[in-house]
Structure 1
Amino acid sequence: MVKSLYIHIPFCTQICHYCDFNKFFIQNQPVDEYIQTLLTEMDLYNLSQNEPLSTVFIGGGTPSALEPLQLEQLLFSMKEKVTLAPGYEYTVEANPGDLSKAKLRIMKEAGVNRLSLGVQSFNEELLKKIGRAHNVKDVYETIDMAREEGFDNISIDLIYSLPGQTLSDLEDTIDRALQLNLPHFSAYSLIIEPKTVFYIMLNKGKLSLQGEDAEATMYEYVMERLVEAGYDQYEISNFAKKGFESRHNLVYWNNEEYYGLGAGAHGYLDAVRYHNHGPLKKYMNAIQDGKKPIVEQATVTRKEQMEEEMFLGLRKMEGVSLEHFQKRFSVNINDVFGETIKRMVSEGLLELVNGRVRLTHPGKLMGNEVFQAFLL
């Protein structure tokens, strides 16, 4: 039973230096046509006839780059095509400085009840270096405006281990973030992805990266400060006050299925992971021909499902339930991963607690190595 929907809006007013998501500079793009095509894609999945959705996440790109009338067209048309379950979570990603009272009111009236803001840093110079369009003042003004319009479930993204960032810079960013008294934070280490501005700069020798030790120090600092401030680290990069965990992202980490709509979107239905066309013309042409715009799909084998159960589930601080694994796959977890779990426990990277296998503190610092160990 699929209860989650991801929608991709691939337009941005500025391209960030680290971003590898499917995106296009919004100027001169067929935005109105894209929105109509996206609404048609929803019909191809018969969303209005299916189970009510518990979570919806509109990401990008930058959804808040849409003009108010475009945002209204998308969100209010969705109300006719999507049924929301009681107690739903409905998130829209936004950039500080992109939002206006008009856009916020449209979101609120359309049923959006959670905002995810791409803040990244409270250091003006670092924001410029990573290609962000907003400044620190925009962050405060956007959050104040969102609260005035009735949004209390607000999350912000932060990035650490940025080129030129010092621990003192990070300390100041965390101080300012905590002063906002928000219910949720995501904090990610910078990853250099192919085809990004930073990737090109690195290959040209024009980008100096933080070392592994500096990155680990920053991560430990983030964990320590946010937990001390009363936030629960419920996932390796996510921190929340009780009841404000990202339910949509938990769908991914719980290895559950979801619809993925929009250019470049990924989805997971009926044990098949699929990927939509990224180029706008290919995406829109497919839908105009009455076809789902899928460019690639693969059935996830039982072995792969078990692997995913481990390396996605171990991202959560509660870890993987031995009982749930048994029920889902009709096999004891130790018959599949017993040797790997035993080795990781002996190395101090995993622990078995209350019928769950989960990361230890050292395991958090070596998460990628732990996850890779569960590839059969």
Structure 2
Amino acid sequence: MPKAAYFHIPFCVNICHYCDFNKVFLKGQPVMEYLACMDTEMERTIQKFPYEKMDTLFIGGGTPTALSAEQLDIFLAAVARHFPVSDVKEYTVEANPEQTTKEKLEVLKKHGVNRLSIGAQAFQPSLLKELGRTHHAGHVEQTVSEAKAIGIDNLSIDLMFGLPGQTMDMFKETIAAALALNVPHISSYSLQVEPKTIFYIRSQKGDLKLPPQELEAEMFEYLMTELERNGYHQYEISNFAKPGYESLHNLQYWDNNEYYGIGAGAHSYMNGVRRVNAGPLKKYMNLVQENGFPYTEENKLTEAERMEEELFMGLRKRKGISSRTFEARYGKPLCDVFGRQIEMLIDRGLLEKDGDWIRLTHSGILLGNEVFSEFISAV
């Protein structure tokens, strides 16, 4: 039964060069009609797949803060009608710094939002331009300051490395700037060039010069060392938090728990079935208006698939996988199902055992995808 819900706002004022999420330009879009369809989807979904208590809500995109303050107010009121926010432990909204005004922050606070995920990515004007971002460092500082001033102090900053034209000195400067903001959570990801993005088109033309893999690895090593030195615990491969500020919502995914996914292109996991919503706005809205549900894919997971996901999702966490939890969930000892793969990866120095737990080693963190692939189609 879901204890988490994700809501997708696909509108963007501009399109970033690396982004492959479901998104459309904001200008000229039927925003209010779309928000009304999300309201309908929430109502119908809860009727069909009821919940007992919600722990986390997460509004992502796209750019949720591309909505006007009035639109945010209407949407968040709809969320609260279906998911009482007084019971929620963590309520996150993704925020683009240049579009997150004080007025919008006050609307978020009014509706119970208690966490922001702020898309900084980098702090150098040249890199931000390369990424297609339209903010500058001052916008990030202003958003952090204004959020803290109204009482939203559970803040996360998103950073990227392995970017075109990014040097080691630039990345060190970015980490220093992020640390100076004194936020309790930092996420940092290496650039992945995904199909249907501007970067992908440029790479196909041979017009995208990325740092060598050795430099990207050096950046990741520096990230881990410097954040740990400054009191941030690496609780997941790409996520670092001060004690007590780990992302409860993302842990729902990594713990392989069920969740709602509301909005165009959103994914959900309910009653053992993974579902994908229609991505194109018109198709999404038509499906919701016709029958209340926008699903275009439904995949009922086999036990083998669920166990595989348990491994390659759970091993992203630094604490790893609990053998006891695995056996309680699936009725089979972990060593009986994946013993061969685990022992082989331990021999290679990529996994380690610590009592009941199995986790990535330092080398395993650097080669995470190689580790995870060993558990796909392994049962």
TM-score (norm 1): 0.98
Q: State the 1:50 CA deviation.
A: 3.2
1:275-307, Cα deviation, whole Å (9 max, x unpaired): 000001110001111231001110111000010
Matches within 5 A, 1:193-342: 193-342=194-343
Q: State the 1:124 CA deviation.
A: 1.1
Partner of 2:228, secondary structure, is helix
Check whether the contact 1:116–1:155 (CA below 8 A) recurs between aligned residues. Answer: yes
* Structure 1, unaligned runs of 5 or more: none
2:18 corresponds to:
18
Specify the code of the residue in structure 2 equivalent to 1:9.
I
Moved over 6 A (4+): none
Distance 2:336 2:200 in 1: 41
Specify the code of the residue in structure 2 equivalent to 1:46.
I
Matches within 5 A, 1:341-356: 341-356=342-357
Identical-residue share of aligned pairs (%): 51
Specify the code of the residue in structure 1 equivalent to 2:44.
L
Check whether the contact 1:52–1:85 (CA below 8 A) recurs between aligned residues. Answer: no
Distance 1:276 1:49 in 2: 18
Partner of 1:150, secondary structure, is coil
Specify the code of the residue in structure 2 equivalent to 1:205.
G
1:319-351, Cα deviation, whole Å (9 max, x unpaired): 000111111111111111111111100110000
Specify the code of the residue in structure 2 equivalent to 1:315.
R
1:63 aligns with 2:64: yes
Specify the code of the residue in structure 2 equivalent to 1:280.
L
- Return 84-93 or 265-274, whichever deviates more: 84-93
Partner of 1:18, secondary structure, is coil
Partner of 2:97, secondary structure, is coil
Partner of 1:56, secondary structure, is strand
Q: State the 1:52 CA deviation.
A: 2.5
1:154 corresponds to:
155
Partner of 2:18, secondary structure, is coil
Partner of 1:129, secondary structure, is helix
Q: State the 1:146 CA deviation.
A: 1.0
2:37 corresponds to:
37
Partner of 1:115, secondary structure, is strand
Q: State the 1:148 CA deviation.
A: 1.2
Q: State the 1:243 CA deviation.
A: 0.7
1:80 aligns with 2:69: no
Distance 1:89 1:291 in 2: 27
Distance 1:113 1:350 in 2: 36
2:193 corresponds to:
192
Q: State the 1:367 CA deviation.
A: 0.3
Distance 2:339 2:82 in 1: 46
Check whether the contact 1:252–1:312 (CA below 8 A) recurs between aligned residues. Answer: yes
Q: State the 1:81 CA deviation.
A: 1.8
Q: State the 1:354 CA deviation.
A: 2.2
Q: State the 1:49 CA deviation.
A: 6.0
Q: State the 1:102 CA deviation.
A: 1.0
Matches within 5 A, 1:115-194: 115-194=116-195
Distance 2:228 2:50 in 1: 42
Q: State the 1:45 CA deviation.
A: 1.3
Q: State the 1:133 CA deviation.
A: 1.1
* Structure 2, unaligned runs of 5 or more: none
Distance 2:302 2:93 in 1: 32
Distance 1:130 1:50 in 2: 40
Partner of 1:193, secondary structure, is coil
Partner of 2:27, secondary structure, is coil
Question: 1:372/1:330 Cα in 2 relative to 1: closer, same or farther (>3 Å)?
Answer: same
1:8 corresponds to:
8
Q: State the 1:147 CA deviation.
A: 1.1
Distance 1:210 1:104 in 2: 37
Q: State the 1:46 CA deviation.
A: 2.5
Q: How many residues align?
A: 376
Matches within 5 A, 1:93-104: 93-104=94-105
Specify the code of the residue in structure 2 equivalent to 1:22.
N
Partner of 1:90, secondary structure, is strand
Partner of 1:297, secondary structure, is strand
Check whether the contact 2:324–2:356 (CA below 8 A) recurs between aligned residues. Answer: yes
